[in-house]
Amino acid sequence: MSRATHTLIASALIVLLAGVSACSLNPGVNALPSSDPSHPDLTWRPHVRTDPALAAQLPDDVRATGVLRVATSSSLPPMTYVAGDNVTLVGFDVDMATVVADVLGLRANISTAGFDTLIPGLQSGRFAMVMSSMGVTAERQKVVDFVDYYYGGEGFLASRSTDFRVERLEDLCGRRVAVQTGSTQQSTLEDSRRICPDAGLPPYDLQAFPGTNAAVLAIRGNRVDVLYASISIVGYTAAQNDDFRVAGRYRRAMVGAALAKDSPLTPLVRQAIQRLIDDGTYGRLLDKWGLMDSAVKTARINSAGAS
């Protein structure tokens, strides 16, 4: 990992843990000066030129506004989080949304929303695209389109004072388990509630939180035992804070930019992401955030279930 990446992650963690230490859900509270959004490691991204051929294919209403309306959740470091001014969004998803818009000749207008409201927001036309570490699943593909941009996975975060391991869902039996509201992890555990009783084990206590910062606070306050979330969030938190550890890693999963079903923007976003992959911009952003092992080579549409 480069020195710049170490500095970046350290600055980001200061923002996250300042909120945890202050018992706040906002990661920017009491942040140190190095978390200021003017910090070059937080705001830097490669210059990207517009692709005139793609820009010419934009729907008339989008071309007229010159804006790509993007939604994300704001408590998913290092994918998306709020910088030290409590306003500026930073993170890999923010960078990717911005450069995708650049390729299309648009300005990214990025707003935040609860994770469980993102898909309804696409369906209602409130947003044109979601970039929020959203797993590509067959169930979600029924109602939205996805364009692959990140090969993620899942993991389990626990207090350093514990020593249990989680290698399968049965290892959660009898434990208090935190998830983010509306996440794939919440759906997985809700659909798997019979695992523990069928194995003759006590059920897990599933608790949903509006964001991962709140779940981290709950672990620290001994209100839950483990957080089940994206491995990027779990690994990031544990690597930078001795109070937490990775209790286990679970299945890998494709992450995609979500768009309304049959949106005319979907093929254009796919081509924009593929261009960013091919010209090296994508790799430079992964390197910036220390996420190199999650790269994809091909931006596919609706890849869940595809061979």
Please report the pLDDT score of residue 78 as a whole number: 87
**Chain segment 182-227, per-residue pLDDT in tens:** 888 999 999 999 999 999 999 999 999 998 889 999 999 999 999 9
Please report the pLDDT score of residue 228 as a whole number: 97
Task: Flag whether pLDDT at 17 surpasses 80.
Answer: no
| For the chain, percent of residues with pLDDT exceeding 90 | 68
User: HEC profile for the chain?
Assistant: CCHHHHHHHHHHHHHHHHHHHCCCCCCCCCCCHHHCCCCHHHHCCCCCCCCHHHHCCCCHHHHHHCEEEEEECCEECCCEEECCCCCCEECHHHHHHHHHHHHCCCEEEEEECCHHHHHHHHHHCCCCEECCCCECCHHHHCCEEEEEEEEEEEEEEEECCCCCCCCCHHHHCCCEEEEECCCHHHHHHHHCCCHHHHCCCCCCEEEEECCHHHHHHHHHCCCCCEEEEEHHHHHHHHHHCCCEEEEEEEEEEEEEEEEECCCCCHHHHHHHHHHHHHCCHHHHHHHHCCCHHHCCCCCCECCCCCC
Q: Which domains does the chain have, with CATH numbers?
A: 3-152+253-294 (3.40.190.10), 153-252 (3.40.190.10)
Name the pTM for this structure. Answer: 0.75
Mean pLDDT of 52-72: 97
**Chain segment 126-158, per-residue pLDDT in tens:** 999 999 989 999 999 999 999 999 998 899 999
**Chain segment 226-242, per-residue pLDDT in tens:** 999 988 889 878 877 89
